[in-house]
Structure 1
């Protein structure tokens, strides 16, 4: 009887342990891709698994294209960014895109990359939102900085277009029309994209 009791207890313990590793479902669980990150002296909070819609979670998908691996294709209508991989695959990320009147399409290249960038609001934004004038000289990097943990600067014809692919502390805005034209990603996702994308890579915005 004692042996049977021990076996039952062991079985229950194993079940509890496996439940604790679940990456979807319960509100207390987190996807491995969106766990807490200690990066550059900042701690990016974990995001609960059920708080990101499945279609906006980072994932590898089939994506046949004639574009070479390393190219970034942005589907603004469906709020997806694709990083092209070999063999007809792509890493897909959920994104937030420009509001009405701020969306744009076209080709660009990654001109430079930055970790925990400072943010300087464009002059046109300062005119629209004068309350941001306190940041006219720049906002220091940090968890509340609108550019988040990383920024990829988009260049066109060798010049800064003023558009970025960047992280955001407002991860819940992914999947919406929210920005002034920049493409925003969850901080954990922009770190992943930053580590894959190279300066000079082609970016196609549709």
Structure 2
């Protein structure tokens, strides 16, 4: 049956002066349904096919080919045209107040106060100053109220260092001498201090973590010392239990300039 239909179409095409290839195109209506070669093609659900044109009133097929304004193709073989979908970024609403238990990644984290980041007041930097006191060169003068230590040089000058002094109730005054010097001294808190601070260690070897710092100069037979500190941000404050504390770099400088027997005047 298919063979006879094709021969008839070829004959009609020859009568109308059509080419052999053109005549074959008109035979699409008599073809069986197209066979699906790939059965499991993914669904293109995001793409929308364009609708086909309404059929004309010419009856379609061979008659519409002859008298219509464009060639007709079998809809079963027509490739649909697709519109590209438009993608938009979703809008996110940022709540004015974060929900309990949630912390936005972009939120500014509150920085805990770190005293180690506090810059040293320039007044407490080591510097040479005018000295018009009566003490002889080589004497150490400690100005407790203003938190300065002076090393008298002579010729009306002195080296001045910033210091930390005793807390209220722990300040003292008097005249002492340096009776011993130690580099990176060990620390054994006295019983009076342990009574106030039972959490303190009973002994701590010398080193960077030791509260006596890099150097210590012992004053007379007392428990007081001029020493360094692992808390340089406390310079310029009332902080100790009566000792005179300095920055490590300053106490090393002073340590190298004085000797055992040096007079120390505490005001």
Task: State the TM-score, normalizing by the size of structure 2.
Answer: 0.55
Match status 1:152 vs 2:217: yes
**Deviation at 1:150?**
0.1
The RMSD of aligned alpha carbons is: 1.4
Write out aligned runs for 1:107-118 (5 A): 107-118=175-186
Match status 1:174 vs 2:222: no
Question: Which of 142, 147, 151 does residue 74 from structure 1 map onto?
Answer: 142
Match status 1:193 vs 2:254: yes
Match status 1:96 vs 2:167: no
Write out aligned runs for 1:6-85 (5 A): 51-85=119-153
SS in 2 for 1:104: coil
CA distance in 1, matches of 2:196, 2:119: 32
Q: Which has the higher contact order (CA 8 A, sep 6+)?
A: 1
Question: Which of 173, 177, 183 does residue 244 from structure 2 map onto?
Answer: 183
Q: Provide Cα deviations, 1:99-148, integer angstroms capped at 9, x if missing partner.
A: 0110000110000101000011011000111111xx32x21111110100
Query: Is 1:70–1:198's contact at 8 Å kept on the other side of the alignment?
Result: no
Partner residue of 2:174?
Answer: 106
**Deviation at 1:86?**
1.7
**Deviation at 1:65?**
2.0
**Deviation at 1:68?**
1.0
Q: Which runs of 4+ in 1 moved over 6 A?
A: none
SS in 1 for 2:228: strand
Query: Of Structure 1 and Structure 2, which has the larger fraction of its residues in strand?
Result: 1
**Deviation at 1:51?**
1.7
Indicate the structure (1 or 2) with the bigger Cα radius of gyration: 2
User: 5+ residue gaps in structure 2?
Assistant: 1-115
SS in 2 for 1:51: coil
User: 5+ residue gaps in structure 1?
Assistant: 1-46
